[in-house]
Amino acid sequence: MSDVGSGLIKLAYRGVAGFVVLLLMFVVGVTGTALSFAGGIIIATSWIPLAYPEILSEVHILGIFGQGTTSPLIVTAFLLIAGILFMAIGFLFLVFTYFIGKGAIQIDKQLSSTVDRTFSGTDRISKLERLAALRERGIITETEFEREKERILGPNDEE
């Protein structure tokens, strides 16, 4: 296959894979950002029960079966812990987004290299087939064929 064909194959898988990776990174990144932002808001508002303890009689925070706590310290501690957990989970999502992108780049390099080797005619088998075709058409002699074959199959061959 020609370089154009291998280019089209790379373009096709990069288009589909790129769209999937972009969509995944977008969803995970937005989720991580939202969780981190929500954790920050929870932490920023955790002082309210300390400043206005009367709201605890109106709102059942940490309630089980309708029974809530009226201790501002417990509610504030709960809000701080919840905010920190939200932020930590959000940052984990953002780190995960980074590793998705980094992994996608590595996979793209490997696939691109494989497509180039397979379809652009730079692998050993393609070289040997072209060499045999040149010998059959009489363009090169049997000696030249054997010398080039040894060079292609030799240990110093760089792919």
**Do residue 102 and residue 137 come from a single domain?**
no
**Do residue 108 and residue 38 come from a single domain?**
yes
Number of domains into which the chain is organized? 2
**Do residue 105 and residue 153 come from a single domain?**
no
Whole-model pTM over 0.75 = no
Residue-number span of the structural domain to which 91 is assigned:
3-122
Mean pLDDT of the chain: 83
Kindly provide the residue ranges of all beta strands, DSSP E only, lying in the chain, ordered along the sequence. none
Q: Is the pLDDT of residue 8 over 50?
A: yes
HEC profile of 19-57: HHHHHHHHHHHHHHHHHHHHHHHHHHCCCHHHHCHHHHH
Query: Rounded distance, CA 43 to CA 56, Å?
Result: 17
Per DSSP, 67 falls in state B
Query: Rounded distance, CA 159 to CA 58, Å?
Result: 74
**Do residue 127 and residue 64 come from a single domain?**
no
**Do residue 118 and residue 130 come from a single domain?**
no
